[in-house]
């Protein structure tokens, strides 16, 4: 069986890379990771990304002759490749709900992303959020609350056990914490659950240990 290979960006900044990495690591799926520095002036870094995918972006998963790029596509592939890990709920309605909230995360929350970029190095402090970003926060809290209310009886994550939805929303946990965003107690409880996850802690430690600074992400 071929060894999975995952190319990712800087752990300090790369929210998109965190998602499939966490889906793999939290489920004890072995893989070899390659960290490629992003936004550098070194043409070799860009060439290395292109050697994994002509899309020129990370993350990229390589499984033998199969190459998958884009975080959500990779998570879908992992779920099919390792059905026993149950990244999606067994129940069809719950599975549809999980896919919907993952897709909403994938394509939405633009204001929150732009105003509160993932930066593990950043000292914790609040920023003034726009009305759109505040609406994003409220919607995310609503999603988490509804998922926990409907499916939380089987465990502490969004759909009970850790799954695709938790991986997709993991960077939001960092954003809420780093930017000292005021959230409800049930939101904080879910954040605490995620931050206690060993794989989440591993990514965080390694991101903080990185020394590369990308100036344009240090303004907020």
Give the end of a domain, one of 40, 70, 85: 85
In the chain, % of residues over pLDDT 90: 83
70, part of any domain? yes
CATH number, domain containing residue 144: 1.20.1050.10
Same domain, 20 and 57: yes
108 vs 219, which has greater pLDDT?
108
What pLDDT was estimated at residue 52?
Answer: 77
Domain range holding 173?
92-203
Same domain, 79 and 100: no
HEC string of the chain equals: CCCEEEEECCCCCCHHHHHHHHHHHCCCCCEEEEECCCCCCCHHHHHHHHHHCCCCCCCEEEECCEEEECHHHHHHHHHHHCHHHCCCCCCHHHHHHHHHHHHHHHHCCHHHHHHCCCCCCCCCCCCCCCHHHHHHHHHHHHHHHHHHHHHHHHCCECEEECCHHHHHHHHHHHHHHHCCCCCCHHHHHHHHHHHCCHHHHHHHHHHHHCCCCCHHHCCC
Same domain, 81 and 97: no
Same domain, 96 and 186: yes
80, part of any domain? yes
For residue 59, pLDDT over 60 is answered with yes
- Torsion angle of C-alpha atoms 166, 39, 51, 68, degrees rounded to 10: 20
Band of residue 44 on the pLDDT scale cut at 50, 70, 90 = low
For residue 215, pLDDT over 70 is answered with no
What is the total count of domains within the chain? 2
Same domain, 80 and 102: no
42, part of any domain? yes
pTM of the model: 0.93
Same domain, 96 and 69: no
Average pLDDT value for residue range 189-209: 98
134, part of any domain? yes
pLDDT 10s digits, 112-155: 999 999 999 999 999 999 999 999 999 999 999 999 999 999 99
């Amino acid at each position: 069986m071929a060894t999975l290979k995952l190319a990712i960006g800087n752990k300090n900044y790369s929210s998109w890379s965190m998602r499939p990495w966490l889906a793999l690591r939290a489920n004890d799926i072995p893989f070899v990771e390659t960290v490629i520095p992003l936004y550098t002036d070194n043409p070799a870094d860009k060439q290395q990304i292109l050697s994994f995918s002509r899309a020129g972006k990370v993350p990229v998963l390589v499984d033998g002759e199969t190459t998958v790029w884009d975080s959500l596509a990779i998570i879908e592939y992992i779920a099919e490749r390792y059905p026993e890990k149950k990244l999606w709920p067994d129940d069809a309605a719950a599975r549809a709900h999980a896919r919907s909230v993952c897709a909403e995360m994938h394509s939405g929350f633009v204001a929150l992303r732009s105003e509160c970029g993932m930066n593990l190095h950043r000292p914790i402090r609040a920023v003034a959020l726009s009305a759109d970003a505040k609406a994003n926060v409220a919607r995310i809290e609503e999603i988490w609350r509804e998922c926990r209310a409907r499916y939380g009886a089987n465990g502490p994550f969004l759909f009970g056990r850790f799954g695709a939805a938790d991986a997709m929303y993991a960077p939001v946990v960092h954003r809420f914490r780093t930017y000292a965003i005021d959230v409800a107690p049930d939101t904080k409880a879910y954040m605490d659950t995620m931050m206690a996850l060993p794989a989440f802690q591993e990514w965080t430690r390694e991101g903080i240990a990185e020394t590369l600074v990308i100036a344009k992400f240090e303004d907020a």
